[in-house]
Amino acid sequence: MVKKILLGIVAVLLLVLVGYYFYTQYTYSEGIRAGQLVKFSKKGFVFKTYEGELNLGGINANQGNGAMVVNNMWDFSVVDEAVANDIMKYDGQKITVHYQEKVKALPWQGETRYFVDRVEPIK
């Protein structure tokens, strides 16, 4: 009797973990963003992940007579090491990235919900 209860608890726990894993892999949205690559690094205490920052630029209307340029920063993560190596080539340059937004990121995937899977320089 006790073995059946323990087996049932383990089975339910396993189903919950598998369900949570698939929940975190769900792509909520995907698209492209363009901007200047400001920062890209590999960081983390236990799980080393690739993290980057893209300056999307933009103009914000000032209350005075002019306009003020605003730094609109966008944080992203990269899982694929080949994509990370491509991104490192474009430090300080304008690039276009294709990304997928996940519902939730697992700790070993990255710090953000935005995962870049392609990068192209802007000519």
Tell me the per-residue pLDDT of 47-76, one tens digit each, with 9 for 90 and over. 899 999 999 887 655 556 565 656 689 999
What is residue 109's predicted lDDT score, i.e. its pLDDT?
80
- Note the pLDDT of residue 60: 59
The residue with tokens 């694929």 is 80
Report all structural domains of the chain as residue ranges with CATH numbers, in order of start. Answer: 27-121 (2.40.50.140)
The contacts of residue 51 (CB under 8 Å, 6+ apart) are: 39, 40, 41, 42, 43, 75, 76, 77, 78, 110, 111, 112
Residue 102's nearest CA partner among 51, 33, 26 is 26
Q: Residue 25 — very low, low, confident or very high, per pLDDT cuts 50/70/90? A: confident
pLDDT at residue 111 in the model? 87
Higher per-residue confidence, 28 vs 106: 28
Which residues, other chains included, contact 81 with Cβ-Cβ below 8 Å and sequence gap of 6+?
50
| The pLDDT of residue 62 | 58
- Residue 46 pLDDT: 87
Report the pLDDT averaged over residues 65-93.
84
Q: Could you report the per-residue pLDDT of 99-109, keeping only the tens digit for each?
A: 999 887 777 88
Rounded to two decimals, the pTM is 0.74
Cα–Cα dist 87/54, whole Å? 11
pLDDT score recorded for residue 121: 92
